[in-house]
Amino acid sequence: MMKKRICSIALALATALSSAYAFAAEEEAPPQEQTGIQADSEQSVEAVTGEYTAPENEVQIFVSDDGNDSNPGSYQQPLKTISAGISKAVSAKDSAKGKTVSVNIKGGDYYIDDTIELNASGTKENPFIIRGVKGETVNIKMSKKLMQNMFSQATDKEAVSKLPSTAKKYVGEYNLNGILKSADSNNYNLIVNGSEQTVARWPDKEFDRVAKVVNTTTFTGKEAGGRVSKWAGESNAVIRGYFGVEYRFEGKTLSKINGSEVTLESKPYYGMKANDRYFIENLLQELDSPGEYYVDVKSKKLYYYPPYNISGSDIEFSQNTKTMLNVSKQSYITIENLSFSGTQGTGLNFTDCDNIVIDGCEVKHIGKDGIVMQNAANSAVKNSTICFIGNRGIYLTGGDRTKLISGENSVENNHIYDFGRKDRTGGVGVSLEGIGAVIQHNLIHNSTAGGILFSGNEFKILYNEIYNVVNEPCDAGAIYSARNYTFRGTEVAYN
């Protein structure tokens, strides 16, 4: 039998000038998620002696979070920012004939506000490499770090008056002045110890059902009852659900409340019918469960109901919608042993590139697609972890269908999970278009959407383990294709 949970809020001084907000509970915070990709534990010579000699056939540029961008970029005198490291490496290419050029990033957290643009190619013999230093953890983040001791118990009278009575003493507030840049509440994410928190919603889990359709944009809910009146006047609330059909999930901004009637800003794509599933989110009035949060755009305050004592926790707030790494029309690039996280846009984007290798990386807490390779050739994503993704884990296109020329791309030995967190139907683990890609030895799981979607010819989908997917929609599958009888020649085996 579970022990009875005893909860209380403890307010204590962290310093003479700041207060600490902590949710005191019998259970402690879970171990923090291991962030970043860990290279093997064998220590290199330089880690032990502090000395370093670069390989003869490689020009190496080093970056460290305690470096300086005025430094030359050597192991002993590294640069500070990744963009400076890339710029230095690109400049070194002209004098590095016959040698590999690499950007080597030492362990640490690298917070970025803008897209890392890579405009450089390598060759077959000497690829252009961006890597994390062996044995060190490199986290590249677009989120903003929040200090747990800057939380305080919610005191704003207007906000507190909206909070459910059972939650008032447990909810803390955080002033986001200087942090909050976007007014789009659809693009916020609160991450605590590596776990994404939930926007305040009702029902807390699952869905309510449409009881009666009043007109094309208005309905009443089966279980909502009198609580609907609490939603009146809220302009940022969003109703999400399966309207009209069970294979399209969409969200509509709340327009108004009239008695028990809920009106959407516009008609759902497939209309609306009785018994459709829906929930409403982004309401301070529904902030009633541990792990939920709400951002008040006007006051720039974050309200949070922590599930455990957050003292010492790693807390990140994500709102940036930019792509983290963008590469266009380049060749022979290797990205390895790096962790990318914290954008509400796309993680890594490659367009019209060939011979790209993403190896041993981690891409997580991404609002749109994790990794995108469009019109790719001879490229691979391997040995990587892609998780907590809003849309698709990997989107890969390549090859010429009209001539049946393979793109020679591959997705191999990756762990892909918790994808489709926003696009709960189309946000599959791996989405393929074109011809000839090999998808094999991947572990794909935990999503409302499907595991693998393919549109094209002569793919090989082999030896993948897929489970706990397609949990909500219909007309979907663990491995799925549709709507075109010319999608032929694909081998699906040993999955």
Q: Give the global pTM.
A: 0.90
Six-digit token pair at 283? 């309401």
Q: What is the model's pLDDT at position 29?
A: 55
Distance between CA atoms of residues 296 and 284, nearest Å:
8
Rg (CA), the chain: 25
Q: What is the model's pLDDT at position 93?
A: 86
Give 25's Cβ-side CA count (13 Å radius): 19
> What residues have CB less than 8 Å from 324, skipping those under 6 apart?
112, 115, 116, 140, 142, 340, 343, 345, 346, 347, 348
Distance between CA atoms of residues 99 and 61, nearest Å:
13
Q: What is the model's pLDDT at position 94?
A: 81
Given 3-state DSSP classes, what are the helix, strand and coil percentages for the chain, each rounded to the nearest 5? Answer: 10, 40, 55
Give the position of tokens 């008695």.
259
Question: Block means of pLDDT (10 residues each) for the chain, length 495 residues?
Answer: 34 30 45 43 38 82 97 96 96 87 97 97 95 97 96 92 94 96 91 97 97 98 93 92 96 95 97 98 96 95 95 96 98 98 98 98 98 98 98 98 96 98 96 97 97 97 98 93 93 98
Residues 396-435 have pLDDT tens digits of 999 999 999 999 999 999 999 999 999 999 999 999 999 9
**221: which strand partners?**
210
